Every structure is written in C-alpha cells, then in structure tokens.
C-alpha cells in the first residue's frame, strides 16, 4: 500500500490566487513528520515546510501553510497569493520513527501558475 498519496498529477492556478495541493498518508505510528518539497524545472529539491504529528498548530512558512487533519491523515499544502515562480513539482514526504530517518515520498503534483 502506498504510504503517501498525492492524487493530483497536475494543477493550474491563476496568479495571485491561493491553491491547495493534496497529500494523504498511511501510518500506524503515533509519532511521525510530514515534509513538503518544491522541485522547479531546474531540478533541485527545495524544502518548504514541516509538520510534526504532535504539533497542535498547523505549520506556516511565509506564503506556505499546512492544512493538517490528523484524523483524516491528510497534510495538504496551501500556497497563498500564487506567483509565477511557484510553477514546479511539489512533493509530500513522511518520516516515521525508525533509525534511518528516511523520507517516503509521494508521486508529486505539478503546479502551473497562469499569468
């Protein structure tokens, strides 16, 4: 079973509007972390935001925020006031508690911002 599911292969958003990228996860652990990364067309992986399973508040970083719904096992990324530079692939990833600290990635969502 997939541990991280991103159901939107591609999305469009109008410049200056907000957009939500979906991420659901599957784990039996009580303690885990969720990460979002951005991959522009140049290829590098850029860390955006982190949410811990015990964090009581939704994480925010500038124009990025997480809509974390633990009971639904979802951690959706919200980008406010979209900019042309937000056009990229976005990956959701989960870290479970084990000795490796590895990340399990979803398949990604390609976001295109229209001017």
Partner 1 sequence: NAGVTQTPKFRVLKTGQSMTLLCAQDMNHEYMYWYRQDPGMGLRLIHYSVGEGTTAKGEVPDGYNVSRLKKQNFLLGLESAAPSQTSVYFCASSQQIFNQPQHFGDGTRLSIL
Cβ-based neighbour number of residue 101 at 10 Å:
9
12 counts as binding partner 1 under rule CB under 8 A: no
Give the nearer residue to partner 1 in terms of CB position, either 12 or 47.
Answer: 47
Exactly one of 52, 69, 81, 112 binds partner 1 (CB under 8 A); that residue is 52
Give the nearer residue to partner 1 in terms of CB position, either 38 or 79.
Answer: 38
Please classify residue 98 by burial: count the beta carbons closer than 10 Å to its beta carbon, then call 0-12 exposed, 13-18 middle and 19+ buried.
Answer: exposed
Which of 22-30, 40-48, 60-68, 69-77 is the region at the interface with partner 1 (rule: CB under 8 A)?
40-48
The sign of the CA dihedral 21, 85, 38, 32 is negative
Give the nearer residue to partner 1 in terms of CB position, either 17 or 29.
Answer: 29
What is the three-class DSSP state of 85?
helix
Report residue 69 CA to chain centroid gap.
Answer: 13
Which of 17-25, 66-74, 77-85, 106-114 is the region at the interface with partner 1 (rule: CB under 8 A)?
106-114
Biggest distance spanned by C-alpha atoms of the chain: 45
Contact residues: partner 1, CB under 8 A: 4, 9, 33, 35, 37, 43-45, 47, 50, 52, 91, 93, 95, 97, 99-108
């Amino acid at each position: 079973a997939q541990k991280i599911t991103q159901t939107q292969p591609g999305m469009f958003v109008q410049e200056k509007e907000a957009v939500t990228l979906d991420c659901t996860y599957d784990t039996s652990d009580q303690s885990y972390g969720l990460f979002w990364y951005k991959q522009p067309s140049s290829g590098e992986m850029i860390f955006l935001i982190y949410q811990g399973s015990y964090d009581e508040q939704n994480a925010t970083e500038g124009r990025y925020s997480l809509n974390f719904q633990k009971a639904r096992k979802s951690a959706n990324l919200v980008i406010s006031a979209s900019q042309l530079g937000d056009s990229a692939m976005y990956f959701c990833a989960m870290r479970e508690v084990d000795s490796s600290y590895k990340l399990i990635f979803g398949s990604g969502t390609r976001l295109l911002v229209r001017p």
